[in-house]
Structure 1
Amino acid sequence: MRTFDEFSRATVRRQLRGAVDPRIVEIVRLRCARYHDCRLCASVRVLDAELDDPMAAKIDRYESSDLPDAWKAALRLADAVIMMPGAVGEDLRADVRRHFDDDQISQLLFSIMKWSCQKALVSLRVDIPQEEGTPVTYDRDGHRIIGTAAIRAFQQAG
């Protein structure tokens, strides 16, 4: 568990450095939550992503949505890594590379892996959801802060 916790916190610390637009990281996180049926992850919203509910609702039908092409490429990558990582083909690689550099792709891949590690919690149904739309943020060490404490921490940081 310590190794998993350190991996998770390291991934979040990398996200906080901002190589990828926080809104893209958030849609990838929500896509993973929905695919894995993680009630906790689906119920919270990362504050610095500033992603509203109508935008988040487009994730389920992203291919036919008006989401930006870079967002769609990130979601395609998430789907491929979650569902069949060995089947990532040249077309997807080219699509992702049109929108992201190596550092950003690396951040996206680590994020997808981080948001896909909760399968054991989900299968045991101990992924306790928060009230829908509960704010979440992270401290500089990568620890999650949920609820009103998240709002206070976000305001102090901003």
Structure 2
Amino acid sequence: MLANEKLFHTASTVPHRTMELVKLRASQINGCGFCTDMHFKDAVHAGDDPERLNLVPVWREAPAFDDAERAALALAEESARLADNPHGVSDETWEAVRKHYDDEQIAALVAMCAQINAWNRVNVILRTPAGFYDPATKTARYRELQK
């Protein structure tokens, strides 16, 4: 999964900022504290605005996101909430995604949605604690802090 993560960020033309929004929103929905902390910090480290990131849970009501980001956020939400829609992602969301992204970008977004949902489950199952991720080193510091 780590190799895929690197590939998404190096081979895809989806903006890094958008990918972080996708990962952050799915992590919030899935209740993964570690991943929520990680992707908030990674987004800030990459230059995104913390105030804007605080609006991710209410992106529909917030003017801080452009239409392409909104399409990606809708895809992230619907991919994380499969039980809410027996048909998967809605036609409306697919229409918005297709309007803003080409086939390669859609493939990257879909793969990222699947990947972050898998990472969320791994970290929730393992009870990985939140709050200790360091974006500068891409590592969790919790082991050294537990001493």
Give a deviation string over 1:54-86, Cα, whole Å, max 9, x none: 111111000011111111110101111111273
For the residue of structure 2 that corresponds to 1:70, the secondary structure is helix
Structure 1: which 5+ runs fail to align? 1-6, 138-144, 149-158
Letter in 1 for 2:131: Q
Q: Structure 1 residue runs of 4+, over 3 Å off?
A: none
Q: Percent identity?
A: 23
In 2 relative to 1, CA 33–136 (structure 1 residues): closer, same or farther, beyond 3 Å? farther
Q: Name the one with the larger strand percent.
A: 1
Structure 2: which 5+ runs fail to align? 142-147
Give a deviation string over 1:72-126, Cα, whole Å, max 9, x none: 110101111111273323221111111111111111111111111131431442x
User: Does the CA contact (< 8 Å) of 1:8 and 1:114 recur in 2?
Assistant: no
In 2 relative to 1, CA 14–123 (structure 1 residues): closer, same or farther, beyond 3 Å? closer
- Give me the TM-score of the superposition, normalised by structure 1: 0.73
Residue 62 (structure 1) aligns with: 59
Backbone CA RMSD of aligned residues: 2.4
Matched, 1:121 2:123: yes
Q: How many aligned positions are there? A: 133
Residue 49 (structure 1) aligns with: 46
1:136 positional shift: 5.3
Superposed, which structure 2 residues align to 1:1-158 within 5 Å?
A: 7-44=1-38, 45-46=41-42, 49-66=46-63, 67-84=65-82, 86-117=87-118, 118-125=120-127, 127-131=128-132, 134-135=134-135, 145-146=138-139
Q: In the aligned structure 1, how far is the partner of 2:124 from the partner of 2:99?
A: 34
